[in-house]
Amino acid sequence: MAPRSSPPPAAVLPHPPLPGAGERWALFLDVDGSLLDFADDPTAVVVLPALRRRLAGLHGALDGALALVSGRALADLGRLFGDPPWTLVGLHGLERHDAAGRAQAPSIEPAQVRRMRRETAALAARLGEAVRWEDKGVAAALHCRRAPSLLPALRREAMALAARLPGYELQPGDMVMEFKPAGMDKGRAVAELLAAPPFAGRRPVYLGDDLTDEHAFAAVNAARGLSVRVGGRTPSHALFTLPNPAAVQAWLSDVLDTLMKGTPPHAANPGGPPQRRP
Protein backbone atom coordinates (compact mmCIF):
# COMPACT_ATOMS: atom_id res chain seq x y z
CA MET A 1 0.00 0.00 0.00
CA ALA A 2 1.35 3.44 -0.93
CA PRO A 3 1.91 5.88 1.93
CA ARG A 4 -0.78 8.47 2.50
CA SER A 5 0.02 11.84 0.93
CA SER A 6 -0.99 13.66 4.10
CA PRO A 7 -1.77 12.56 7.65
CA PRO A 8 -5.30 12.48 9.03
CA PRO A 9 -6.41 15.20 11.46
CA ALA A 10 -4.77 15.03 14.89
CA ALA A 11 -8.00 14.07 16.65
CA VAL A 12 -8.31 10.84 14.66
CA LEU A 13 -4.69 9.65 14.52
CA PRO A 14 -4.75 5.95 15.43
CA HIS A 15 -2.65 4.07 17.94
CA PRO A 16 0.35 2.46 16.19
CA PRO A 17 0.04 -1.24 15.37
CA LEU A 18 2.27 -4.05 16.58
CA PRO A 19 4.58 -5.99 14.24
CA GLY A 20 2.75 -8.32 11.92
CA ALA A 21 3.74 -11.94 11.37
CA GLY A 22 7.10 -12.07 9.63
CA GLU A 23 7.40 -8.28 9.53
CA ARG A 24 10.93 -6.94 10.03
CA TRP A 25 11.09 -3.56 11.73
CA ALA A 26 13.83 -0.98 12.15
CA LEU A 27 13.01 1.04 15.26
CA PHE A 28 14.09 4.68 15.68
CA LEU A 29 13.32 6.44 18.97
CA ASP A 30 13.59 10.08 19.92
CA VAL A 31 14.62 10.46 23.57
CA ASP A 32 13.40 13.59 25.40
CA GLY A 33 9.63 13.94 25.26
CA SER A 34 9.19 10.55 23.58
CA LEU A 35 11.09 7.84 25.39
CA LEU A 36 11.63 9.98 28.50
CA ASP A 37 9.67 12.82 30.10
CA PHE A 38 11.03 16.32 29.65
CA ALA A 39 12.93 17.96 32.49
CA ASP A 40 13.80 21.63 32.94
CA ASP A 41 17.40 20.52 33.38
CA PRO A 42 18.33 17.83 30.80
CA THR A 43 21.25 16.71 32.98
CA ALA A 44 18.79 15.70 35.72
CA VAL A 45 17.09 13.03 33.57
CA VAL A 46 17.54 9.45 34.78
CA VAL A 47 17.04 6.26 32.75
CA LEU A 48 15.68 3.46 34.93
CA PRO A 49 17.15 -0.05 34.68
CA ALA A 50 13.81 -1.46 33.49
CA LEU A 51 13.88 0.78 30.42
CA ARG A 52 17.47 -0.18 29.63
CA ARG A 53 16.48 -3.86 29.82
CA ARG A 54 13.51 -3.25 27.53
CA LEU A 55 15.70 -1.50 24.96
CA ALA A 56 18.27 -4.29 25.20
CA GLY A 57 15.51 -6.79 24.52
CA LEU A 58 14.31 -4.86 21.49
CA HIS A 59 17.86 -4.54 20.20
CA GLY A 60 18.25 -8.31 20.31
CA ALA A 61 14.81 -9.13 18.92
CA LEU A 62 15.34 -6.70 16.03
CA ASP A 63 18.77 -8.15 15.19
CA GLY A 64 20.38 -4.84 16.10
CA ALA A 65 18.00 -2.57 14.13
CA LEU A 66 17.40 -0.14 17.00
CA ALA A 67 18.61 3.46 17.16
CA LEU A 68 18.11 6.40 19.49
CA VAL A 69 17.87 9.60 17.44
CA SER A 70 18.23 12.67 19.62
CA GLY A 71 19.10 16.32 19.81
CA ARG A 72 21.37 15.50 22.75
CA ALA A 73 25.08 15.22 22.21
CA LEU A 74 26.42 11.71 21.69
CA ALA A 75 28.40 11.78 24.94
CA ASP A 76 25.24 12.70 26.84
CA LEU A 77 23.34 9.79 25.30
CA GLY A 78 26.14 7.44 26.31
CA ARG A 79 25.99 8.79 29.86
CA LEU A 80 22.25 8.26 30.07
CA PHE A 81 22.10 4.77 28.56
CA GLY A 82 25.38 3.31 29.79
CA ASP A 83 27.28 2.96 26.50
CA PRO A 84 24.70 0.62 24.94
CA PRO A 85 25.20 -1.72 21.97
CA TRP A 86 22.50 -0.08 19.85
CA THR A 87 23.12 2.81 17.47
CA LEU A 88 23.18 6.31 18.95
CA VAL A 89 22.51 9.38 16.82
CA GLY A 90 23.20 12.72 18.47
CA LEU A 91 22.76 16.39 17.59
CA HIS A 92 19.94 15.61 15.13
CA GLY A 93 22.19 13.34 13.05
CA LEU A 94 25.45 15.27 13.17
CA GLU A 95 26.99 12.71 15.54
CA ARG A 96 26.66 8.94 15.24
CA HIS A 97 28.05 5.82 16.87
CA ASP A 98 26.98 2.28 16.00
CA ALA A 99 27.57 -1.14 17.52
CA ALA A 100 30.43 -1.82 15.11
CA GLY A 101 32.33 1.15 16.53
CA ARG A 102 31.91 3.38 13.49
CA ALA A 103 31.71 7.03 14.51
CA GLN A 104 30.67 10.22 12.76
CA ALA A 105 31.22 13.77 13.99
CA PRO A 106 30.58 17.18 12.41
CA SER A 107 33.44 19.05 10.80
CA ILE A 108 33.35 22.75 11.62
CA GLU A 109 36.00 25.39 12.16
CA PRO A 110 36.92 25.84 15.85
CA ALA A 111 36.66 29.62 15.45
CA GLN A 112 33.07 29.26 14.27
CA VAL A 113 32.25 27.07 17.27
CA ARG A 114 33.83 29.54 19.70
CA ARG A 115 31.88 32.43 18.18
CA MET A 116 28.61 30.51 18.31
CA ARG A 117 29.13 29.58 21.95
CA ARG A 118 30.09 33.12 22.94
CA GLU A 119 27.20 34.82 21.17
CA THR A 120 24.48 32.33 22.15
CA ALA A 121 25.55 32.50 25.81
CA ALA A 122 25.41 36.30 25.60
CA LEU A 123 21.91 36.12 24.09
CA ALA A 124 20.70 33.88 26.91
CA ALA A 125 22.13 36.32 29.46
CA ARG A 126 20.37 39.29 27.80
CA LEU A 127 17.01 37.51 27.91
CA GLY A 128 17.28 36.80 31.63
CA GLU A 129 17.55 33.93 34.08
CA ALA A 130 14.42 32.19 32.75
CA VAL A 131 16.27 31.38 29.51
CA ARG A 132 18.73 28.55 30.06
CA TRP A 133 21.77 28.04 27.83
CA GLU A 134 22.57 24.37 27.16
CA ASP A 135 26.10 23.48 26.11
CA LYS A 136 26.19 20.77 23.42
CA GLY A 137 29.80 21.16 22.38
CA VAL A 138 29.61 22.19 18.72
CA ALA A 139 25.95 23.14 19.24
CA ALA A 140 24.00 25.12 21.83
CA ALA A 141 20.35 25.34 22.80
CA LEU A 142 18.42 28.14 24.50
CA HIS A 143 15.43 26.88 26.51
CA CYS A 144 12.52 28.94 27.84
CA ARG A 145 10.40 26.14 29.29
CA ARG A 146 10.29 27.95 32.65
CA ALA A 147 8.91 31.09 30.98
CA PRO A 148 6.93 30.21 27.82
CA SER A 149 5.92 33.84 27.32
CA LEU A 150 9.52 34.57 26.35
CA LEU A 151 9.37 32.27 23.31
CA PRO A 152 8.45 35.00 20.74
CA ALA A 153 11.35 37.20 21.89
CA LEU A 154 13.71 34.21 21.98
CA ARG A 155 12.68 33.15 18.49
CA ARG A 156 13.09 36.66 17.08
CA GLU A 157 16.52 37.20 18.64
CA ALA A 158 17.70 33.68 17.74
CA MET A 159 16.72 34.10 14.09
CA ALA A 160 18.64 37.36 13.90
CA LEU A 161 21.70 35.83 15.51
CA ALA A 162 21.64 32.67 13.33
CA ALA A 163 21.80 34.85 10.22
CA ARG A 164 25.14 36.19 11.47
CA LEU A 165 26.76 32.86 12.37
CA PRO A 166 28.61 31.22 9.45
CA GLY A 167 28.31 27.44 9.27
CA TYR A 168 25.31 27.32 11.60
CA GLU A 169 21.55 27.00 11.26
CA LEU A 170 18.66 27.39 13.66
CA GLN A 171 16.60 24.36 14.72
CA PRO A 172 13.35 25.38 16.49
CA GLY A 173 11.87 22.95 19.00
CA ASP A 174 9.46 22.72 21.91
CA MET A 175 10.27 25.87 23.95
CA VAL A 176 13.81 25.79 22.61
CA MET A 177 15.86 27.38 19.84
CA GLU A 178 18.96 25.41 18.94
CA PHE A 179 22.04 26.52 17.01
CA LYS A 180 23.65 23.58 15.22
CA PRO A 181 26.10 23.07 12.35
CA ALA A 182 24.24 23.26 9.06
CA GLY A 183 23.51 20.40 6.70
CA MET A 184 21.88 17.60 8.70
CA ASP A 185 18.51 16.73 10.21
CA LYS A 186 16.86 13.65 11.69
CA GLY A 187 15.22 12.73 8.39
CA ARG A 188 18.54 12.58 6.57
CA ALA A 189 20.08 10.66 9.45
CA VAL A 190 17.32 8.02 9.36
CA ALA A 191 17.53 7.73 5.56
CA GLU A 192 21.28 7.15 5.77
CA LEU A 193 20.85 4.47 8.45
CA LEU A 194 18.21 2.69 6.33
CA ALA A 195 20.74 2.34 3.50
CA ALA A 196 23.02 -0.01 5.46
CA PRO A 197 22.82 -3.04 7.80
CA PRO A 198 21.30 -3.75 10.23
CA PHE A 199 18.54 -1.33 9.17
CA ALA A 200 18.48 -1.93 5.41
CA GLY A 201 15.52 -3.89 4.04
CA ARG A 202 13.37 -3.33 7.13
CA ARG A 203 10.22 -1.32 7.67
CA PRO A 204 11.18 1.89 9.49
CA VAL A 205 9.24 2.86 12.61
CA TYR A 206 9.96 6.29 14.10
CA LEU A 207 8.66 7.79 17.35
CA GLY A 208 9.11 11.50 18.11
CA ASP A 209 7.36 14.42 19.74
CA ASP A 210 8.94 17.62 18.47
CA LEU A 211 9.35 19.81 15.40
CA THR A 212 12.82 18.31 15.05
CA ASP A 213 11.20 14.91 14.39
CA GLU A 214 9.07 16.07 11.45
CA HIS A 215 11.91 15.52 8.96
CA ALA A 216 12.14 11.93 10.17
CA PHE A 217 8.37 11.43 9.95
CA ALA A 218 8.47 12.53 6.30
CA ALA A 219 11.40 10.23 5.52
CA VAL A 220 9.71 7.25 7.18
CA ASN A 221 6.40 7.91 5.42
CA ALA A 222 8.23 7.97 2.08
CA ALA A 223 9.69 4.57 2.95
CA ARG A 224 6.22 3.17 3.78
CA GLY A 225 7.03 3.00 7.45
CA LEU A 226 5.22 3.96 10.62
CA SER A 227 5.54 7.55 11.86
CA VAL A 228 4.34 7.97 15.45
CA ARG A 229 3.81 11.34 17.09
CA VAL A 230 4.14 11.40 20.88
CA GLY A 231 1.78 13.95 22.42
CA GLY A 232 -0.69 16.23 20.70
CA ARG A 233 1.44 18.70 18.77
CA THR A 234 -0.06 19.82 15.46
CA PRO A 235 0.33 19.99 12.57
CA SER A 236 2.40 16.87 12.03
CA HIS A 237 3.41 14.48 9.25
CA ALA A 238 2.88 11.55 11.66
CA LEU A 239 0.27 8.92 10.79
CA PHE A 240 -0.06 7.43 14.31
CA THR A 241 0.06 8.74 17.85
CA LEU A 242 0.79 7.87 21.47
CA PRO A 243 -0.11 10.33 24.24
CA ASN A 244 3.08 10.45 26.34
CA PRO A 245 6.35 8.67 27.22
CA ALA A 246 4.57 6.32 29.63
CA ALA A 247 2.38 5.13 26.76
CA VAL A 248 5.48 4.81 24.55
CA GLN A 249 7.17 2.55 27.08
CA ALA A 250 4.03 0.42 27.47
CA TRP A 251 3.74 0.10 23.68
CA LEU A 252 7.42 -0.85 23.39
CA SER A 253 6.80 -3.62 25.94
CA ASP A 254 3.98 -4.92 23.74
CA VAL A 255 6.23 -4.69 20.67
CA LEU A 256 8.93 -6.70 22.46
CA ASP A 257 6.40 -9.33 23.60
CA THR A 258 5.12 -9.66 20.03
CA LEU A 259 8.63 -9.98 18.59
CA MET A 260 9.67 -12.53 21.22
CA LYS A 261 6.80 -14.82 20.28
CA GLY A 262 8.53 -15.29 16.94
CA THR A 263 12.07 -15.63 18.36
CA PRO A 264 13.59 -19.11 17.84
CA PRO A 265 14.79 -20.93 20.98
CA HIS A 266 18.44 -20.76 19.88
CA ALA A 267 18.43 -16.95 19.58
CA ALA A 268 21.03 -15.16 21.67
CA ASN A 269 19.50 -13.84 24.91
CA PRO A 270 17.79 -10.77 23.42
CA GLY A 271 16.59 -9.59 26.81
CA GLY A 272 19.94 -9.85 28.53
CA PRO A 273 22.10 -6.99 29.70
CA PRO A 274 23.64 -4.81 27.00
CA GLN A 275 27.17 -5.63 25.93
CA ARG A 276 29.58 -2.72 26.03
CA ARG A 277 31.28 -1.57 22.88
CA PRO A 278 34.95 -2.35 22.51
Whether residue 101 has pLDDT greater than 90: no
**Amino acid, single-letter form, for residue 201:** G
Name the phi and psi angles at 91, rounded to 5: 50, 45
Whether residue 172 has pLDDT greater than 50: yes
Write down the pLDDT at residue 41.
Answer: 74
Do 136 and 91 meet the contact criterion of CB atoms below 8 Å apart? yes
Q: In sequence order, what are the residues at sequence separation of 6 or more whose Cβ sits closer than 8 angstroms to the Cβ of residue 263?
A: 61, 270
For 11-167, strand residue ranges (E) read 25-29, 66-69, 87-90, 95-97, 103-104, 132-135, 140-143
What b/e sequence results for 56-71 when a residue is b if at least 16 CB atoms lie within 10 Å of its CB, and e otherwise?
Answer: bbbbbbbbbbbbbbbb
Whether residue 75 has pLDDT greater than 60: yes
Do 201 and 208 meet the contact criterion of CB atoms below 8 Å apart? no
Percent of the chain beyond pLDDT 70? 90
Write down the pLDDT at residue 105.
Answer: 81
Catalytic residues: 30
Write down the pLDDT at residue 278.
Answer: 34
Whether residue 88 has pLDDT greater than 60: yes
Do 228 and 205 meet the contact criterion of CB atoms below 8 Å apart? yes
Identify the CATH number of the domain defined by range 24-105+184-261. Answer: 3.40.50.1000
Whether residue 11 has pLDDT greater than 60: no
- What integer is the mean pLDDT of 107-132? 94
Residue 263 confidence class, pLDDT cut points 50, 70, 90: low
Write down the pLDDT at residue 83.
Answer: 84
Write down the pLDDT at residue 174.
Answer: 85
- C-alpha distances (whole Å) from 172 to each of 39, 82, 108, 129, 143 are 18, 28, 21, 20, 10
Residue 86 confidence class, pLDDT cut points 50, 70, 90: very high
From-to residues of CATH 3.30.70 in the chain? 110-181
DSSP 12: G
- What integer is the mean pLDDT of 155-167? 95
Write down the pLDDT at residue 44.
Answer: 80
Whether residue 7 has pLDDT greater than 70: no
Residue 273 confidence class, pLDDT cut points 50, 70, 90: very low
**Strands 25-29 and 66-69, sheet pairing:** parallel
194 three-class SS: helix
Spatial distance between the Cα atoms of 166 and 8, rounded to a whole number of angstroms? 39
Long-range contacts, 107-114 (Cβ 8 Å, 24+): 108/138, 108/167, 108/181, 109/167, 112/165, 112/166, 112/167, 112/168, 113/137, 113/138
Write down the pLDDT at residue 100.
Answer: 76
Q: What pLDDT, in 10s, does the model give residues 21-37?
A: 889 999 999 999 999 99
Name the phi and psi angles at 58, rounded to 5: -65, -40
Write down the pLDDT at residue 5.
Answer: 46
Q: What pLDDT, in 10s, does the model give residues 208-226?
A: 999 999 999 999 999 999 9
CATH topology (fold) of 110-181: Alpha-Beta Plaits (3.30.70)
The Cα angle at residue 242 between residues 18 and 227, in degrees rounded to 5:
65
Spatial distance between the Cα atoms of 210 and 229, rounded to a whole number of angstroms? 8
From-to residues of CATH 3.40.50.1000 in the chain? 24-105+184-261
Whether residue 269 has pLDDT greater than 60: no
